């Protein structure tokens, strides 16, 4: 559990006193503050039990106070009740679909969440008399008026209305308050809350409890990209809990919903290797993630919603899904259903009635009965209007006859979701007094809304590492806090005013997210809270993403110091990838097979030899010295990856050959200038000719013409996208394509083929040479900076030409890009060598020297026939050469 460490003893005494009340902004802070205060009382009194101090979130205190006044028969409380959030949603849905209330809006319920949020903003910031500035804000004003009218006529009030009534009760002396009232951890106090606190001040001693903890040591951490950032944070967390037992850590994500999977993957890469260690026993990952899954996105409950909305006539594609669902005793007729599904696949595009499907002779009996019963029940309900409780029962009956979730083994998330599903039906059933009779359509809209707003979160384990959202973490205390994505496009966030309220009004009233100035203030508040809620605060940012370079957020100027990522992680830590593929090297084997006979000291095999020596020296020996080729299948479903890559090379060579000839004829200053001068129609014609040239040499009779045409279209589309990337570069000339050359490495030579060499004119009007390599799959230049130099093609090309930079030209469908390194900062799209995060040298001359020495040693080992490698059972099991290897552990 998170700790509350920033309260001194005198404050705790105040919190523990009997005649006091403490109000917090939310449940989590109230629970943690209560726990800490209770522990303080028990320690001070040396007792095993005590009275729980009155520490409540504002929402609960208002509800409790409202009920107390109601019980005491104080008007108007005695005639009113607080409406629940789920019931309130039903009023809004009904208002949105009332006749004439939503003209010109195609699907009003899409605005339900925005409208309900706008209602809270308008109430808390007391936005009463205003003129709508759009059709939507005009609709919202009508909806809100109708909702408030219906609520009061039914004897219900919202939380905001209840606060106004409580303020009146305090002013009229109808409510008895404790002698001392405290507020804790309110970062923001809207005008409505301020009115409440002012009223309390006039009738009790109200004071704010402020954190007394000194500000944390605040470090700024630069990382290359998001993947690198997540890895560094995970390895840092691992090092902390390994070296400092009992410490608590928060990893904070400003966009946890979209980053959750990547963060978990990085943590798993660090912590899951323990699972593959021998005799490790049971192992629980030491982290909790706060964000759950929306109930309607969990497949089991998504299918439930599908069946409830199912019409009696469905498309054949949906029929296959229904047949394959694991419901209606599917386990008893698996084979029959498979055969039935196979038969129904022939009816693609044809609509089928559920009853007709159930009556087919090949339909398995359990499935037939379920579909028939479901269709009969659905027909009986479609024309009815009923109260919500009847709809809740009907929905339960519909799912029961179809066999939903019966005889299905549920995982942890689904078991938790099952309880939430029952709660959602209960919320629908509780609306009878609010809505009266409603149609099936409206009942389905409500149940969809409830399930969309219900998060299913696995129970936390009290782990030392907590992955939290930005707002969740702001009210809690930890020993260490790491905030991810502290870039200037994230903090401050982009202003997003509520679409249901006039924009100018929101800016004037300074409502949440209404303006850039407001977001700037909020960012300052947020990081101020972070810096006083831990001992050490780490804020990381990335320097590049797929769209270009990135900058640190303004707030990081307040950090104490920069800290290098390499200095705070454990480099000896084995990550999951290493555990999975290298399988924990346990011993090293030396093998001497004798020197290689060479012709003029030239090493046959080229770049492949060097890359295989890094991957597995025995593979390099068997492939190139023993001439044992790889087994290739005699059939394929399409082009091989190698074929596709070779054809892309040919197309690019043909395309640039044509551009170079045009540049000569038209005397263009550079080849890139010529590309810019070409009309779009001419560029497209050139691309088509290049594609024709590439496919001319394809000799594959086993591939259909339709598939070939799809491949052609894909290549044409990819090249069209690639041309735009080439246009965005600095001015350049293509000085060589597909050029063969020799590179001297120590006493040996190795032959390479350079895909392309460019002469680039940088911003200082200086010519630079770039060695470039086409790739038809994603590749990063960081592979040339790794300790073992995983890919040697670019380093060798740079060495042979004395290049000033290198780059992979990733000509990839939909996501083409350039991953490049250069000797300085003067080239667009090429990262300056001094800013890489690897352990390789950061000066260009030192880097090329390191490449030459490392690769020379590797080729020397190969030529002398002395290799070292580390066999293991799981690594060797998938090696096709294991039958030839005397050291194979498989």
Mean pLDDT of 153-163: 95
Cα–Cα distance, 675 to 727 (Å, whole number): 7
Task: List Cα–Cα distances, 468 to 262, 351, 646, 690, in angstroms.
Answer: 14, 47, 46, 51
For residues 877 and 143, which has the higher predicted lDDT (pLDDT)? 143
Is the pLDDT score of 5 beyond 60? no
User: Helix (H, G, I), strand (E, B), or coil: what is residue 789?
Assistant: coil
Is the pLDDT score of 276 beyond 80? no
Q: Two tokens at 178?
A: 């404790």
pLDDT of 636: 54
Mean pLDDT of 479-494: 94
Mean pLDDT of 20-31: 87
Strand-pair category, 81-82 with 156-157 = parallel
- The answer to whether the beta carbons of residues 234 and 577 sit under 8 Å apart is no
Task: Give the up-direction half-sphere exposure of residue 225: CA atoms within 13 A in the CB hemisphere.
Answer: 14
Q: Two tokens at 297?
A: 């996105």
Mean pLDDT of 754-779: 87
Least confidently predicted of 351-365, 552-566, 635-649: 635-649
Is the pLDDT score of 283 beyond 70? no
pLDDT of 103: 60
Task: List residues bridging with 819 in a β-sheet.
Answer: 808
Share of the chain above pLDDT 70, in %: 87
Cα–Cα distance, 69 to 76 (Å, whole number): 9
Cα–Cα distance, 77 to 220 (Å, whole number): 53
Chain position carrying tokens 């019966």: 406
pLDDT of 630: 60
pLDDT of 577: 47
Question: Which tens digit of pLDDT belongs to each residue from 692-717?
Answer: 999 887 877 778 888 888 889 989 99
Cα–Cα distance, 514 to 493 (Å, whole number): 11
Phi, psi values for residue 328, rounded to 5°: 55, 50
For residues 188 and 887, which has the higher predicted lDDT (pLDDT)? 188
Neighbours of 626 (CB within 10 A): 12
pLDDT of 555: 94
- pTM equals 0.60
Q: Two tokens at 445?
A: 């809209």
- The answer to whether the beta carbons of residues 220 and 194 sit under 8 Å apart is no
For residues 800 and 883, which has the higher predicted lDDT (pLDDT)? 800
Mean pLDDT of 142-154: 93
Say whether the peptide bond before residue 492 is cis (omega within 30 degrees of 0): yes
Under the banding of pLDDT at 50, 70 and 90, the label for residue 280 is: very low
Mean pLDDT of 407-414: 80
Chain mean pLDDT for the chain: 84
Q: With 0-12 CB in 10 A as exposed, 13-18 as middle and 19+ as buried, what is 129?
A: exposed
Cα–Cα distance, 342 to 117 (Å, whole number): 48
Question: Which tens digit of pLDDT belongs to each residue from 736-756?
Answer: 998 889 999 998 999 999 999
pLDDT of 277: 45
- The answer to whether the beta carbons of residues 690 and 652 sit under 8 Å apart is yes
Q: With 0-12 CB in 10 A as exposed, 13-18 as middle and 19+ as buried, what is 703?
A: middle
For residues 819 and 460, which has the higher predicted lDDT (pLDDT)? 819
Mapped to the 3 state alphabet, what secondary structure does 526-552 carry? Answer: HHHHHHCCCCEEEEEEECEECCEECCE
Cα–Cα distance, 499 to 133 (Å, whole number): 10
Q: Two tokens at 260?
A: 């959750």
Is the pLDDT score of 580 beyond 70? no
For residues 73 and 185, which has the higher predicted lDDT (pLDDT)? 73
pLDDT of 864: 83
């Amino acid at each position: 559990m998170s700790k509350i460490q920033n309260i001194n003893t005198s404050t705790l005494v105040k919190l523990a006193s009997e005649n006091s009340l403490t109000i917090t902004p939310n449940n989590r802070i109230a629970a943690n503050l209560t726990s800490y205060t209770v522990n303080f009382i028990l320690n001070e009194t040396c007792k095993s039990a005590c009275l729980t101090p009155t520490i409540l979130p504002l929402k609960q205190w208002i509800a409790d106070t409202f009920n107390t006044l109601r019980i005491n028969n104080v008007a108007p409380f005695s005639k009113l009740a607080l409406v629940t959030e789920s019931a309130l949603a039903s009023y809004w849905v009904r208002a949105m679909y009332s006749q004439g209330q939503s003209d010109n809006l195609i699907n009003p319920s899409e605005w339900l969440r925005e409208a309900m949020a706008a209602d809270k903003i308008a109430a808390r910031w007391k936005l009463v008399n205003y003129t709508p500035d759009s059709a939507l804000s005009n609709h919202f004003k009508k909806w809100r008026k109708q909702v408030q009218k219906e609520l009061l006529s039914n004897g219900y009030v919202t939380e905001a209305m209840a606060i106004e009534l409580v303020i009146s009760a305090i002013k009229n002396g109808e409510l008895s308050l404790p002698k001392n009232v405290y507020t804790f951890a309110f970062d923001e106090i809207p005008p409505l809350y301020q009115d409440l606190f002012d009223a309390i001040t006039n009738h009790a001693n109200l004071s704010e409890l402020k954190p007394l903890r000194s500000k944390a040591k605040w470090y700024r951490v630069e990382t290359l990209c998001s993947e690198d950032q997540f890895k560094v944070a995970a390895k840092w967390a691992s090092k902390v809990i390994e070296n400092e037992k009992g410490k608590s850590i928060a990893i904070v994500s400003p966009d946890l919903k979209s980053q959750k999977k990547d963060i978990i993957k990085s943590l798993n890469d660090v912590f899951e290797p323990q699972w593959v260690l021998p005799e490790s026993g049971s192992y629980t990952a030491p982290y909790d993630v706060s964000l759950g899954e929306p109930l309607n996105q969990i497949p089991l409950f998504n299918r439930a919603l599908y069946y409830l909305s199912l019409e009696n006539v469905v498309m054949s594609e949906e029929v296959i899904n229904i047949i394959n669902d694991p419901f209606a005793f599917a386990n008893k007729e698996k084979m029959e259903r498979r055969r039935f599904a196979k038969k129904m696949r022939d009816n693609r595009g044809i609509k089928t009635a559920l009853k007709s499907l159930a009556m087919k002779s090949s339909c398995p009996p359990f499935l037939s009965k379920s579909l028939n019963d479901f269709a009969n029940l659905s027909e009986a309900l479609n024309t009815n209007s009923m109260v919500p409780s009847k709809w809740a029962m009907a929905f339960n009956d519909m799912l029961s006859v179809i066999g939903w979730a019966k005889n299905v083994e549920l995982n942890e998330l689904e078991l938790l979701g099952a309880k939430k599903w029952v709660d959602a039906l209960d919320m629908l059933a509780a609306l009878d007094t609010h809505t009266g009779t409603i149609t099936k359509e409206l009942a389905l809209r409500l149940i969809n809304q409830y399930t969309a707003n219900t998060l299913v979160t696995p129970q936390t384990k009290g782990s030392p590492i907590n992955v939290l959202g930005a707002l969740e973490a702001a009210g809690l205390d930890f020993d260490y806090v790491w905030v991810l994505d502290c870039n200037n496009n994230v903090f401050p966030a982009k202003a997003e005013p509520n679409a249901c309220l006039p924009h100018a009004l929101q800016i004037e009233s300074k409502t949440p997210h209404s303006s850039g100035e407001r977001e700037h203030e909020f960012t300052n508040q947020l990081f101020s809270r972070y810096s006083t809620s831990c001992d050490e605060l780490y804020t990381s940012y990335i320097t590049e993403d797929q769209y270009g370079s990135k900058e640190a957020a303004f707030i990081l100027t307040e950090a104490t110091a920069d800290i290098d990522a390499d200095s705070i992680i454990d480099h000896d830590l084995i990550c999951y990838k290493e555990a999975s593929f290298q399988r924990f090297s346990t011993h090293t084997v030396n093998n001497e097979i004798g020197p290689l006979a060479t012709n003029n000291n030239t090493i046959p095999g080229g770049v492949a030899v060097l890359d295989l020596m890094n991957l597995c020296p025995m593979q390099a020996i068997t492939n190139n010295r023993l001439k044992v080729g790889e087994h290739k299948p005699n059939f394929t479903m399409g082009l091989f990856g190698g074929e596709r890559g070779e054809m892309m090379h040919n197309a690019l060579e043909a395309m640039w050959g044509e551009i170079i000839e045009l540049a000569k004829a038209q005397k263009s200053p550079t080849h890139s200038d010529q590309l810019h001068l070409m009309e779009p129609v001419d560029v497209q014609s050139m691309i088509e000719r290049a594609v024709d040239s590439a496919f001319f040499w394809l000799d594959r009779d086993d591939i259909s013409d339709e598939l070939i045409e799809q491949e052609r279209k894909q290549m044409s589309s990819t090249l069209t996208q690639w041309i735009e990337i080439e246009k965005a570069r600095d001015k350049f000339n293509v000085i060589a394509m597909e050029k063969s050359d020799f590179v001297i490495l120590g006493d040996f030579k190795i032959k390479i083929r350079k895909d392309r060499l460019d002469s680039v004119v940088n911003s200082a009007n200086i010519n630079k040479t770039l060695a470039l390599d086409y790739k038809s799959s994603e590749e990063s230049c960081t592979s040339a900076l790794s300790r073992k130099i995983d890919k040697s093609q670019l380093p060798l090309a740079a060495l042979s030409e004395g290049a000033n930079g290198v780059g992979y030209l990733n000509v990839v469908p939909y996501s083409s890009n350039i991953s490049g390194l250069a000797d300085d900062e003067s080239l667009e799209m090429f990262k300056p060598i001094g800013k890489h995060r690897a352990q390789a040298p950061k000066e260009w001359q030192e880097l090329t020297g390191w490449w030459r020495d490392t690769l020379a040693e590797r080729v020397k080992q190969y030529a002398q026939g002395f290799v070292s490698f580390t066999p293991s059972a799981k690594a060797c099991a998938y090696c096709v050469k294991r039958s030839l290897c005397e050291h194979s552990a498989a």
